[in-house]
Structures are given as structure tokens and as C-alpha cells.
Amino acid sequence: MATKRAQMMEETRAKLIRAAREAFATKGYAAASMDDITADAGLTRGALYHNFGGKKGLLQAVVDQIDAEMVTRLIAAQERAPSPWEGLLTEGVTYIEMALEPEVQRIMLLDGPAVLGDPSQWPNQNACLLRTTQTIQALIDEGTVKPVDAEAAARLINGAALNAALWIAAADEPRVVLPKAVEAFRQLAAGLLQTER
């Protein structure tokens, strides 16, 4: 039986993460005070320090949660694609779309790296990136993609998609810019394809 204390603790953790996610996304990490977050969750800083060890620990928990959600969406998008190669492209486009969401942009792309350090060193190894790496490795194995370093390629692809997203987000006419970015992304990615076709 799950003891009553344990499930209470899960509950408070969830409430804190929910409140923090909201605050970090809207105000940014630095401007979000722990007092506000905990009060918003109906708790105090005592609970926060007990469960997450501090402000950074809370951010880490929020990042892990969002990261997991992103991976789920990436997998879903890839599985709908007609071929593995199209799956990779679809993954990239999906990544761009996710990066357009203010929450992802603020927490995962700006504050996260600044506070926690490089994403590839996050505890869960940045599942999002790991996923792309595996996809590329599979394409290399089947001969679709040139034999480059899979992680390097995944890194660059993600970086390209990320910058495309930031560009679109800051553009005056996102609707006009989006197709341009997607087209350029496809062209770039084609550089990985095995010669010919």
C-alpha cells in the first residue's frame, strides 16, 4: 500500500511544480520569487526546500517534466511519418513548432541552459536530444544518411530548428516566415542524405 504520507508528498510536489511552471514561463526564472510560487500553491518555502532542495532543484523538476512531454510529442509526430527519413524531418518541424510556445522558449531554451548549464548535461541526458540522436543513428545504419557522427548531427539539426523557431517567434509575420524556415530546414537536412537522389 502506498502510505498516506507518500501520496501527500507527491501531491505537494505536483502543486509546486505546477505553480513554478506557470511562474517561470510568465515572469522568467530570476523574476519569479519562491514566496510567490509557494503561496500560489498554498504552501510555504519550507515545502519547497524539503522537496527540491532549493530554487534550482525546482527548475530542474520543471525542466524534466516539460522535456518528457516534448519527447512524447516528438515520438508521436515521427510515428505518423511515411518513412524514417520523413520522420526525422517531421521531428525537426515539430521541434520548431514546440519552440514557438512561450513556455518552452522561456524555460527550456533560455533560463534552463543559463541556470542549469548545457542541456546535454542535464540528469536525464536531455531525452529530447537523445531521441533525435537515435533516429539519426538508425538512418545511418540503414544507409539513408551519410556516416557522420549521429550526436553531432542531432545537435546541429536541433540547433538549426531552434534558431528557426526563435526567428519565427520574433518575426512580424510568423505565418509568412514559418514556411520559409521549414523549407530551408529541409534543404539543410538534405545535406545529411547519402549521395544521389
Partner DNA sequence: GTTGTTCACATACGAGCCGTATGCGTATTG
Partner DNA sequence: CAATACGCATACGGCTCGTATGTGAACAAC
174 binds DNA (CB under 7 A): no
DSSP 23-76: HHHHH-TTT--HHHHHHHTT--HHHHHHHHSSHHHHHHHHHHHHHHHHHHHHHH
CB of 32 to DNA, least distance (A): 7
With CB under 8 A as the contact rule, the residue among 53, 123, 174, 191 that binds a second copy is: 191
Question: Cα separation of 14 and 10, whole Å?
Answer: 6
With CB under 7 A as the contact rule, the residue among 28, 49, 162, 167 that binds DNA is: 49
3-state secondary structure (DSSP) of residue 183: helix
Residue 114 or 190: which CB sits closer to DNA? 114
- Scan residues 105-164 and list those touching a second copy (CB under 8 A): 110-111, 113-115, 117-118, 120-121, 146, 148-149, 151-153, 155-164
Q: Are 178 and 167 in contact (CB under 8 A)?
A: no
Residues that bind DNA (CB under 7 A): 3-6, 8-9, 11-12, 32-36, 38, 42-47, 49-51, 54-56
